[in-house]
Amino acid sequence: MSERRKLTLKDIAKDLGISVSTASRALKAHPDIAQETIQMVKDYAAKHNYVPNIIAVNFRKSRTKNIGLIVPELVHHFFSTVISGSIDEAKKSGYNILVSQSNDFLADEIVACKTMMASSVDGLLISISNETYDGDHILEFIDEGKPVIQFDKILEKLPVPKVIVDDFEGGYSATKHLIDQGCKRIAHIAGRKDVLNACERMKGYKKALNDHQIPFKEEYIRYCESISEEEGEQFMEEFLALPNPPDAVFCITDLVALGVIKALKNKGISIPDQIAIVGFSNWKLAEIVSPSLTSIDQHGYQMGVVAVRMLIQKLEDKNFEIPDTLELKTRLVIRDSSVKVKA
């Protein structure tokens, strides 16, 4: 049962009275090798349960078959979905995913990059932290000849391929959906102005208003700093204090929407009849909360799959050119929080 030392090519070569290289080639069914030799070696290998020493193989080929994956937060529905997709896809090609998190701190992100670099991943997938405005630590990978792909939270100026969700379209369709429900005074609780995704959603929101002749009003806009439930609650209260409160709110994230819902419940305002709500990200909580929350799904799993697939393609074929930007479409998931008119 427990073999002290694993069987090596050398062992099987010796036992079979052939050379190591013949054994090696036979196992790969190299065309030069005689059919019978191939059979013999393969049989022997199977019988003795030969497993090539991957560490040696990787050393020889100077690669690791490991892909680094850095996310801001691991314990986060969206990112764990992305990771899940990455892992499943990577597995198919025999790659492993090495996960690390930045906690949304630049310092941690840099450390994570260094660690990844040191442990010699073959390539990197990264979603940057909120503090990352400069990507030197990311470019180092490129310098070392290791391909990198950014996803979701990206640094636009970085000359590195990106897989993102079409936040603009998401913001647009969320807003349009509210308009379709007959809402006229649609507020938006936005993210930080310097975060790309947040800006795109805002742009989509504005465009939708514009396309439907609804004037954009600054009083219906709030900017989150930490994207928290508390902010949602507070901003909603501010909206309610307006002389002419909104009849709908599009929130940058489901968590913020949750705060909004809380505030409304506290005031006894009915959702969606008096005020309709749409979130973003389609977290687990969107279906759990009551009323269930209409949200924009970002296809996290798919994003993980796509990013990994492109990275591996590049890894296996140096000439493959990763498209500069790949935009995944969002999907509007309609639930109770926004549907004003039934039937």
Partner DNA sequence: CTGTTAGCGCGTTCAC
Partner DNA sequence: GTGAACGCGCTAACAG
Q: Whole-angstrom Cα distance, residue 260 to residue 208?
A: 22
Q: Interaction with DNA in 29-88: which residues (CB under 7 A)?
A: 30, 32-37, 52-53, 56-57, 59-62
Considering beta carbons, is residue 8 or 292 the nearer one to DNA?
8
Which residues does 214 contact at the CB level (< 8 Å), separation at least 6? 179, 184, 186
Q: Give the helix/strand (H/E) hosting 287.
A: helix 284-288
- Choose from DNA, a second copy, none: what does 285 bind? Cβ within 5-8 Å by kind: a second copy
Q: 59: exposed, middle or buried (C-beta count within 10 Å: 0-12, 13-18, 19+)?
A: exposed
Q: Give least dist CB 100 to DNA, A.
A: 23
Decide whether 71 or 174 has the Cβ nearer to a second copy.
71
Q: Decide: 197 and 191 in contact? Cβ < 8 Å.
A: yes
Among DNA, a second copy, none, the one that 64 touches (CB under a kind-dependent 5 to 8 A) is: a second copy
Evaluated on CA atoms 311, 313, 318, 320, the torsion sign reads: negative
Q: Which does 101 bind (CB under 5 to 8 A by kind): DNA, a second copy, none?
A: a second copy
Residue type, 62: S
Applying CB under 7 A, among 1, 2, 4, 17 the residue interacting with DNA is 17
User: Min. distance of Cβ 11 from DNA in angstroms?
Assistant: 8
> Please, which residue, 10 or 284, has the CB nearer to DNA?
10
Of 42 and 77, nearer to DNA (C-beta) is 42
Residue nearer to DNA on the CB measure, 95 or 250: 95
Residue 115 interacting entry, from DNA, a second copy, none, C-beta within 5 to 8 Å by type: a second copy
Which is nearer to a second copy, 31 or 94 (by Cβ)? Answer: 94
Q: Are strands 186-190 and 221-223 parallel, antiparallel or unpaired?
A: parallel
Least separation in angstroms between residue 233's CB and DNA is 55
> Shortest approach of a second copy to residue 184 CB, angstroms?
29
**How big is the CA angle at 251 (ends 125 and 225), to the nearest 5 degrees?**
70
Which positions ≥6 away from 93 have C-beta within 8 Å? Answer: 312, 316
Could you tell me the maximum CA-CA distance found in the chain, to the nearest angstrom? 92
| Nearest distance from C-beta of residue 176 to a second copy, angstroms | 28
Angstrom distance (rounded) from CA 65 to CA 63: 6
Indicate the angle between helix axes 254-266 and 229-240, nearest 10 degrees: 50
Q: What's the one-letter identity of residue 5?
A: R
Where do contacts with a second copy occur on this chain (CB under 8 A)? 1-3, 6, 51, 53-56, 58-59, 62-66, 74-77, 80-81, 83-84, 87-88, 91, 94, 96-101, 111, 115, 117-120, 142-145, 229, 258, 262, 265, 284-285, 288-290
For the CB of residue 252, give the shortest distance to a second copy in the complex, in Å. 17
Q: How many residues bind DNA (CB under 7 A)?
A: 30
Q: Is 133 in the site for DNA (CB under 7 A)?
A: no
CB of 198 to DNA, least distance (A): 44
Work out what residue 8 binds among a second copy, DNA, none; the CB cut-off runs from 5 to 8 Å by kind. DNA
Query: Distance from first CA to last CA of the chain, Å, rounded?
Result: 68
Task: For residue 25, state whether it binds DNA (rule: CB under 7 A).
Answer: yes
Q: What are the residues whose beta carbons fall under 8 Å from the beta carbon of 273, sequence distance 6 or more?
A: 340
Smallest separation, CB 255 to DNA (Å): 46
Shortest Å, Cβ 66 to DNA: 17
Q: What is the 3-state secondary structure (H, E, C) of 181-208?
A: CCCCCEEEEECCCCCHHHHHHHHHHHHH
Cα 186 from Cα 72, distance rounded (Å): 31
Does residue 275 contact residue 264 with C-beta atoms inside 8 Å? yes
Binding site for DNA (CB under 7 A): 5-6, 8-10, 17-22, 24-27, 30, 32-37, 52-53, 56-57, 59-62
